[in-house]
Amino acid sequence: MRNPYDPIDQTGVVIDGLDIGNVVSQIQDKGFTVVENFLAQEDIASIRAAFNTEVPITEMRAIGTETGRTWRAHNLLAKTRAADHVFLDPRLRAIVDGVLGKYNQINITTLFNTLPGETRQLLHQDDGLWPIPRPHPAFLCNMLIAFDDFTKDNGATHLVPYSHSWTREVDQSVESIQVEMKSGSAVFWEGGMWHAGGANTTESEERMGFFISHQVSYLRPQEIQLLAIPPEVVKEMPHKLKRLLGYHPFGIGVDGRDPVDVLEDGVVVNPEARPAEDWRESYRG
């Protein structure tokens, strides 16, 4: 009997010329794959302009870096509408469904810019947030879109192929590859893969990227979307994007109602419901 949380078989599925089944197969096999020209340059320019003008950024000192030479911004869906269409792109939706299954949602959204002088991050696994013994099903499907060309010199992301299937910790000296790709291309990887941001050893090249992480819907997300984005902002979003933020009827929803309906109408207390005290008394009897 098929588990409803199993990944969707995307064999033979082609969307806008992209072989979704092949992309998913590579992610499942070696842990990652690169899709060239995922976004057109005019799209990159438009989103970059919005990110540069609408999204506040802060320094990041984490995962082994102390220079402050990486700028980051999280919670992007609360701050700009410029990239909504990327989250709803049918290619992305099909790839995530193929890796995680149809019950998935947004885990975290991040804009980052790696500046000259930044050092290499420590290798890490993004799904290490959930302390569940390995091996386990895929929890995360990550996508990183290059806004600038990613090169070894400006800190292209390090990946350790096949490490998403390992059950052991890795030594920081383990051999990795750096994913060099042109602006507009995207690298996808399974959340168990060991990876790290590279060192930017150039004198003047920045490396901007747009990171989207999806997770299975039954786990608590790293970025709490239901609080992070004001309800009045969510109300104006497309129905599918609301679902991806966590407004989905998992379990009993909200008092047995669809969370999207509660978002629109508010919490409605059933006037015919029995008071809690009466319920407890009848239960005792």
276 is a domain residue: no
Give the per-residue pLDDT at 3: 87
Q: Is residue 262 part of a domain?
A: no
CB 96 within 8 A of CB 104: yes
Please report, for the domain that includes residue 139, its CATH number: 2.60.120.620
- Measure the CA–CA gap between 146 and 129, rounded to whole angstroms: 25
Residue 98 lies in a domain: yes
pLDDT value of residue 96: 98
Residue 1 lies in a domain: no
187 touches 181 (CB < 8 A): yes
What is this structure's pTM? 0.94
Tokens in use for 56? 């506040």
**Whole-number pLDDT of residue 267:** 81
**pLDDT given for residue 276 in this prediction:** 64
Q: Domain for residue 267, yes or no? A: no
Contact assessment for residue 142 and residue 189, using Cβ atoms and an 8 Å cutoff? yes
In a domain, 265, yes or no: no
Residue 197 lies inside a defined structural domain of this protein? yes
Q: Which domain holds residue 174?
A: 14-248
CA-based nearest residue to 198, from 209, 186, 188, 212: 209
- Cα-based distances in Å from 35 to 17, 24, 137, 181, 207: 11, 11, 23, 9, 18
Looking at the chain, list the stretches that DSSP marks H as alpha helix, in order from N- to C-terminal side.
20-30, 41-54, 84-87, 90-100, 225-228, 231-234, 239-244, 259-265, 276-284
Query: What domain count does the chain have?
Result: 1
Please check whether residue 283 lies inside any domain of the structure.
Answer: no
Task: Report the pLDDT value the prediction gives residue 1, as an integer from 0 to 100.
Answer: 64
Q: How does pLDDT run along the chain (285 residues), one tens digit per residue?
A: 678 899 999 999 999 999 999 999 999 999 999 999 999 999 999 999 999 999 999 999 989 999 999 999 999 999 999 999 999 999 999 999 999 999 999 999 999 999 999 999 999 999 999 999 999 999 999 999 999 999 999 999 999 999 999 999 999 999 999 999 999 999 999 999 999 999 999 999 999 999 999 999 999 999 999 999 999 999 999 999 999 999 998 888 888 899 999 999 888 777 676 666 665 666 555
